[in-house]
């Protein structure tokens, strides 16, 4: 494969060719405008609110501050990519619902993706660790207590055997 053929990105398990003219787009713009993945939200455009959080090679990142060209060859997961093969919700998504951790829902995809990145690294994070991991995500509608409860519940659902 020549270097000109290596303009690809894997999004939610699907390898995508990236057009040369799209390389200067932010990852947020590419996901929303080219792939119609509108679960990724444009909250502030400067990386402060966390609504645009996606997981890139296992790490939570702000897609509004990430150039598409910097993620070529990498694996990107959006909230849409958490859906089960049968259309079922991911345990994190279900936990957010069950704990009342959502209100208007605008920040929820970014919150879910930050929680997902945390739970990929830590099976049973402490409540303090959850607070720290979620601190970059802003929510104006709900109390953060329900969000912490939801992440804790999701960890138990994802890793029922514990540590």
Q: How many domains does the chain have?
A: 2
Is residue 163 in a domain? no
76 and 101 share a domain?
A: no
What is the distance between the alpha carbons of residues 17 and 21, in angstroms, rounded to a whole number?
Answer: 12
Radius of gyration of the chain (CA): 16
Closest CA to 151 of 104, 103, 90, 105: 90
Q: How confident is the model at residue 1 (pLDDT cuts 50, 70, 90)?
A: very low
Structural domain that includes position 35: 3-82
Please give the average per-residue pLDDT across 104-111, as a whole number. 93
71 and 95 share a domain?
A: no
Residue 2 has pLDDT above 60, yes or no: no
68 and 114 share a domain?
A: no
Q: How confident is the model at residue 162 (pLDDT cuts 50, 70, 90)?
A: low
Contact of 151 with 118, CB cutoff 8 Å: yes
- The secondary element (H helix, E strand) that includes residue 11 is strand 8-11
Q: How confident is the model at residue 105 (pLDDT cuts 50, 70, 90)?
A: confident
61 and 99 share a domain?
A: no
Helical H segments across the chain, by residue range: 27-29, 91-98, 108-121, 127-134, 144-158
Q: How many CB atoms lie within 10 A of CB 104?
A: 10
Q: What is the per-residue pLDDT across 108-136, written as a single tens digit (0 to 9) for each? A: 999 999 999 999 999 999 999 999 999 99
Please give the average per-residue pLDDT across 82-96, as a whole number. 96
pTM (two decimals): 0.93
């Amino acid at each position: 494969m020549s270097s000109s053929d290596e303009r690809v990105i894997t999004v939610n398990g699907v390898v995508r060719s990236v057009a040369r003219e799209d390389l200067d787009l932010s990852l947020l713009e590419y996901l929303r405008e080219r792939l119609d993945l509108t679960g990724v939200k444009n909250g502030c455009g400067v990386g402060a609110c966390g609504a645009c959080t996606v997981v890139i090679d296992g790490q939570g990142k702000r897609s509004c501050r990430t150039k598409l060209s910097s993620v070529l060859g990498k694996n990107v997961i959006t909230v849409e990519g958490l859906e089960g093969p049968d259309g079922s919700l991911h345990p994190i998504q279900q936990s957010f619902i069950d704990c009342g951790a959502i209100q208007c829902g605008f920040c929820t995809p970014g919150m879910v993706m930050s929680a997902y990145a945390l739970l990929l690294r830590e099976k049973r994070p402490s409540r303090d660790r959850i607070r720290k991991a979620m601190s970059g995500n802003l929510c104006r509608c709900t109390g953060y207590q329900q969000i912490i409860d939801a992440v804790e519940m999701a960890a138990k659902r994802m890793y029922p055997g514990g540590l």
